[in-house]
Structure 1
Amino acid sequence: MGYKLSRRQFGQLVLAGTVVSGFSYLTNKVLATTPTLNIVGIGSTSIPTDPTAIPEVKKTESYPNHPISVTTDMKPVGLELVLRYLTTGSTQVIADNGTPLLEANEILNGFTSLRDGTLVVAITPVATSRRKATHTRLIFLGASSVKTLRVSGLNENQQLGSLLGTNDGRLIGLVGDKNGTPPITLVDVDLQTGTISPLNEITIPKDERVRNLAECPDGNFYTSLLGRHGETSLVQLGLNQEKPTVLAQLKVNGQAWNNGLQNLVCSGTGQLLAFGATRYNPPNAVYSIDKKSGNMTRLENFDVTQIALLPG
């Protein structure tokens, strides 16, 4: 990721504030002049083994405006969650009383904001030869606290992802097999207990690889369908609508988008934004989407795993 911190440096940053990173301020007018596009991304960075000492530096890596010295012979013992704010160029390291919130064998498979500004992260452990995978857990990142909930109602082969904080204050998401195969189920998540329940008011296409959820101010929901070769279609999901409406195949510069999407979000003005990268062509970037044609316009590169829109 963009930088590494010693445990001592990390301790000074946990939930206390932000540090200026090497990210440039936005130059694209679509983002820079639109107050409703307050985009935050989430990623991770490794932490060193020694919890107190500053190690001997064997190699120095410099990043624009933020030089950090790191050692090359230290093995990470955990991964810290890092929030990155696209419109301000700042970052914030998050942990729970110094304990890493993410391990090396875990994935970030959901990220959204609730109506009150709380950020919610879905983390799913991956099974290894030494460890059996456990269920998805949710981490709620408030203004001054961190709360973790274990998701209940999943079987051992399922995961909860593609989180969405709805306009009416609920938390919903998609449940499917960990290998991504259908069927995919839309569920409501109890914010107090983490218990999931089926949400039948919105129809999800059966036998389709459904990814991402977004809700626009007009109450329409959107998702993306992933084809066998990565081709990605934009789909509208209306309330109590018997059949979803396929709007268009997504494309950039006339070429079909071929790698699915990391996220799909909708601004306060109804502008759909996609986040991801075409196959073999990093980094991830934020794109605006024309709902009718499926044309995507790149707005800004963003080196994170997933994004969300902050209310405001």
Structure 2
Amino acid sequence: MGYKLSRRQFGQLVLAGTVVSGFSYLTNKVLAQTPSLNIVGIGSTSIPTDPTAIPEVKATESYNAHQNSVTTDINRVGLVLRYLTTGSTQVIADNGKPLLESNEILNGFTSLRDGTLVVAITPVTTSRRKATPTRLIFLGGASVKTLRVSGLNENQQLGSLLGTNDGRLIGLVGKKNGTPPITLVDIDLQTGVISPLSQITIPNDERVSNLAECPDGNFYTSLLGLNGETSLVQLGSNQEKPIVLAQLKVDGQAWNNGLQNLVCSGTGQLLAFGAMRYKPPNAVYSIDKKSGNMTRLENFDVTQIALARG
């Protein structure tokens, strides 16, 4: 399994235009003073097929050559982990084989109680052929484990994974176009079989996405309106119905683009990840649960985030 990114690999990615130079380090005091916020992000990147075609470059070196000077063909896609607190990057492969193909999407990312990272990958159907099922990639220890998810209908998709505090893996299942109904499911860590969970009420007539669990046992999710407006919702096993806490906003402006992720730190601080519509890049935000106010903490060039445990 190729977990580490060598200097040669980093140089290849920089020259191919797939890694943004100058990784974002912690300059915000909120993050710097909160040791429990060890955030890891996941994304994808193209990888040159010929590792000898591009010279080795140190990660700290800048490179200003024109893209046209790079003749290496790029047709493989790599799975990349990036750590916000250190700026380190890891290209993930299994015995040299990339774990993500060019016709696939990352639609779930979380960490289990033991520190294992779990990625949900779903193929995108571009023809009449039936797409293969969503698969889960487990990144932990000395090997990569792949598990096919079973129990989904043809028009359903698994996303918004959450590793719970009691060691389970749960997620949200909805239609592939993102429309309701949405179902909360338990995912068997040994077989990949999903089964409905009834302990927590999910508003299945709303566009629900993301799951987060705080140390006090409360669960949170986000509701997406027709125009992208996003509300924070509290869920709980003892609640008859979800509690809408507040509409999310930044600097007094309503958040208008849903969220990529919602996570909760060991101290109970809710964190959102995403970007306003037409206003990249993605960033990590802290959320005031009562008011819905979001405070930008740090930009992060990844697709989804999770809390690194262990």
Could you say which residue in structure 1 is the equivalent of 2:36? 36
Could you say which residue in structure 1 is the equivalent of 2:205? 207
- How has the CA–CA distance of structure 1 residues 9 and 128 changed in structure 2, closer, same or farther, with 3 Å as cutoff? same
Structure 2 residue runs of 5 or longer lacking an equivalent are: 11-20
Could you say which residue in structure 2 is the equivalent of 1:65? 60
The one-letter code matched in structure 2 to 1:173 is G
TM-score, with length taken from structure 2: 0.89
The one-letter code matched in structure 1 to 2:118 is V
Shift of 1:76: 2.6
The one-letter code matched in structure 1 to 2:280 is P
Distance in 2 between residues matched to 1:222 and 1:141, nearest whole Å: 25
Q: Is the 8 A contact 1:22 1:63 kept in 2?
A: no
Counting aligned pairs with the same residue, the percent is 84
1:1-312 aligned at under 5 Å gives the runs: 9=9, 22-50=22-50, 53-54=52-53, 65-67=60-62, 72-129=70-127, 131-312=129-310
Structure 1 residue runs of 5 or longer lacking an equivalent are: 11-20
Shift of 1:267: 0.4
Q: Is the 8 A contact 2:53 2:72 kept in 1?
A: no
CA RMSD between the two structures:
2.6
Distance in 1 between residues matched to 2:22 and 2:28, nearest whole Å: 17
The one-letter code matched in structure 2 to 1:45 is T
Could you say which residue in structure 2 is the equivalent of 1:14? none
Q: Is the 8 A contact 2:49 2:75 kept in 1?
A: yes
Runs of 4+ that moved beyond 3 A:
66-75
Distance in 2 between residues matched to 1:283 and 1:183, nearest whole Å: 30
Distance in 2 between residues matched to 1:22 and 1:186, nearest whole Å: 39
Distance in 1 between residues matched to 2:188 and 2:107, nearest whole Å: 18
Report the secondary structure of 1:277's partner residue.
Answer: strand
Report the secondary structure of 1:77's partner residue.
Answer: strand
Query: What does the per-residue CA deviation read over 1:217-241, in whole Å, with 9 as the maximum and x for residues that have no partner?
Result: 0000000000000000000001142
Q: Which range is displaced more, 236-245 or 107-116?
A: 236-245
The aligned length equals 296
Shift of 1:25: 2.0
TM-score, with length taken from structure 1: 0.88
Distance in 1 between residues matched to 2:209 and 2:270, nearest whole Å: 15
Q: Is the 8 A contact 1:22 1:64 kept in 2?
A: no
Report the secondary structure of 1:282's partner residue.
Answer: strand
Distance in 1 between residues matched to 2:154 and 2:287, nearest whole Å: 36
Q: Is the 8 A contact 1:274 1:286 kept in 2?
A: yes
Could you say which residue in structure 1 is the equivalent of 2:15? none
Distance in 1 between residues matched to 2:38 and 2:106, nearest whole Å: 21
Report the secondary structure of 2:137's partner residue.
Answer: strand
Distance in 1 between residues matched to 2:28 and 2:59, nearest whole Å: 20
Report the secondary structure of 2:286's partner residue.
Answer: strand
Shift of 1:63: 10
Report the secondary structure of 2:98's partner residue.
Answer: coil
Report the secondary structure of 2:30's partner residue.
Answer: helix
- How has the CA–CA distance of structure 1 residues 149 and 254 changed in structure 2, closer, same or farther, with 3 Å as cutoff? same
Report the secondary structure of 1:284's partner residue.
Answer: strand
Shift of 1:104: 1.1
- How has the CA–CA distance of structure 1 residues 63 and 214 changed in structure 2, closer, same or farther, with 3 Å as cutoff? farther
Query: What does the per-residue CA deviation read over 1:283-309, in whole Å, with 9 as the maximum and x for residues that have no partner?
Result: 000000000000000000000000000
Could you say which residue in structure 1 is the equivalent of 2:13? none
Report the secondary structure of 1:286's partner residue.
Answer: strand
- How has the CA–CA distance of structure 1 residues 225 and 63 changed in structure 2, closer, same or farther, with 3 Å as cutoff? farther
